[in-house]
């Protein structure tokens, strides 16, 4: 008796880009690459110039000009992919006729040894673009992967994982995009897009939270949230009374955070910050906090191990 054929796993067709014309989108508008194509190309060209990729002496000396090659960009460990549009642009700038098949878009989780994309083109171009393509992918995928670990750790609670302004100079837009790729939420992009009154600001006003909030409200654009950093229960009460939209609980214990949650009772958004790590984030989230900001997402994320293997 013949065994019945097992149903095949249904998978979406891989996306082919030859050449890249539109940066990657993961789903219908869920994760949009933050740079327009001109800015994307300028950023990648600058990175290639920095690496001397247009004058790659080693490759020119060892690879004949008409040789073609195929390569597979593979994840060496499990994680979340991010930076595919940048990698594609690196290959395109060295070989405008390169053929690329993308199997895993930004924001996609991959297993170890799973292919991310395939490239076919002039061997010189692929070799010269390899390092820059990997630098973008490894750095941004590392941030996305670490973010996903934090997001997974607080599942089942209402807490959102947020990034901070602790980013690599010149890379903030990309690194905050990587946080979104990992399922996190962006905090304010820069000093002009949100108000965060910290202890040093309050020291300039002799600790007067009400005055600080009032002045910020008068200057800030309509709709901009006013946030106040507090490290004591008494400050939290004053911040709520002053009309703060968000209260940052700085280096508080989870038990004290829980007291703050009961005190505020929904009158403001509560954000936890300071001393957050993967071993403590779940307990912090279970205190009933709304947001948890984690500087480590961008300043301490290890690069994800990816490699380009040539046939």
Q: Which DSSP string do the residues of 103-154 spell out, in sequence order?
A: SS-TT-EE-TT-EEEEEEEEHHHHHHHHHHHHHHHHHHHHHHHHHHHHHHHT
pLDDT band at residue 275 under the 50/70/90 scheme:
confident
Q: pLDDT tens-digit profile of 85-106?
A: 999 999 999 999 999 999 999 9
What is the DSSP pairing of strand 79-80 with strand 99-102?
unpaired
Catalytic residue among 109, 165, 166, 225: 166
Q: Look up 172 and say whether it is catalytic.
A: no
Sorting pLDDT into bands at 50, 70 and 90, what band is 127? very high
pLDDT of residue 8: 43
> Looking at residue 119, what is its pLDDT?
97
Catalytic residue among 45, 131, 215, 282: 131
pLDDT for position 13: 47
Contacts of 258 (CB under 8 A, 6+ apart): 287, 288
Q: Is 250 a catalytic residue?
A: yes
- What pLDDT score was predicted for residue 32? 87
- Mind listing the domains of the chain with CATH numbers? 15-148+302-310 (3.90.1170.20), 153-299 (3.20.20.70)
Task: Tell which wins on pLDDT, 308 or 18.
Answer: 308
What global pTM score does this model have?
Answer: 0.89
259 with 287: CB under 8 angstroms? no
CA 23, distance to chain mean position in Å, is: 16
Q: What is the pLDDT of residue 28?
A: 43
Does 160 qualify as catalytic in the annotation?
Answer: no
Active site residue 36: no
10 pairs with which residues across the strands?
A: none
Whether 121 and 98 have beta carbons less than 8 Å apart is answered as yes
The confidence score (pLDDT) of residue 29 equals: 45
**Catalytic entry in 77, 208, 231, 250:** 250
Catalytic annotation, pick one of 15, 45, 188, 198:
198
Catalytic status, residue 198: yes
Please pick, among 56, 106, 130, 229, the residue that the annotation labels catalytic. Answer: 229
pLDDT of the residue at 31: 83
């Amino acid at each position: 008796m013949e065994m019945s054929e097992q149903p095949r796993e249904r998978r979406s067709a891989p996306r082919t880009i030859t050449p890249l014309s539109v940066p990657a989108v993961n789903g219908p508008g869920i994760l949009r690459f933050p740079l327009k194509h001109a800015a994307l190309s300028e950023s990648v060209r600058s990175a290639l110039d920095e690496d001397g990729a247009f004058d790659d002496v080693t490759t020119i000396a060892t690879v004949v000009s008409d040789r073609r090659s195929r390569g597979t960009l593979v994840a060496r460990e499990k994680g979340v992919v991010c930076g595919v549009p940048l990698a594609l642009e690196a290959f395109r700038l060295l070989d405008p006729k390169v053929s690329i098949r993308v199997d895993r878009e930004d924001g996609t989780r991959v297993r170890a040894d799973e292919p991310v994309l395939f490239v076919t083109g002039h061997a010189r171009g692929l070799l010269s673009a390899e390092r820059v393509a990997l630098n973008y992918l490894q750095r941004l995928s590392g941030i996305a992967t670490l973010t996903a670990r934090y997001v997974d750790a607080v599942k089942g609670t209402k807490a959102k994982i947020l990034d901070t302004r602790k980013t690599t100079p010149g890379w903030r837009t990309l690194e905050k995009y990587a946080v979104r790729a990992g399922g996190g939420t962006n905090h304010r992009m820069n000093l002009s897009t949100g108000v965060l009154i910290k202890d040093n600001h309050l020291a300039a006003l002799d600790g007067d939270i009400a005055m600080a909030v009032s002045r910020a409200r008068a200057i800030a654009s309509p709709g901009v949230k006013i946030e106040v950093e507090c490290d004591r229960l008494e400050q939290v009460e004053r911040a709520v009374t002053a009309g703060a939209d968000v209260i940052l609980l700085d280096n508080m214990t989870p038990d004290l955070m829980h007291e703050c949650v009961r005190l505020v009772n929904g009158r403001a958004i509560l954000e936890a910050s300071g001393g957050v790590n993967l071993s403590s984030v779940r307990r912090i989230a279970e205190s009933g906090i709304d947001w948890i900001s984690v500087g480590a997402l961008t300043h301490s994320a290890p690069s994800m191990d990816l490699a380009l293997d040539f046939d």
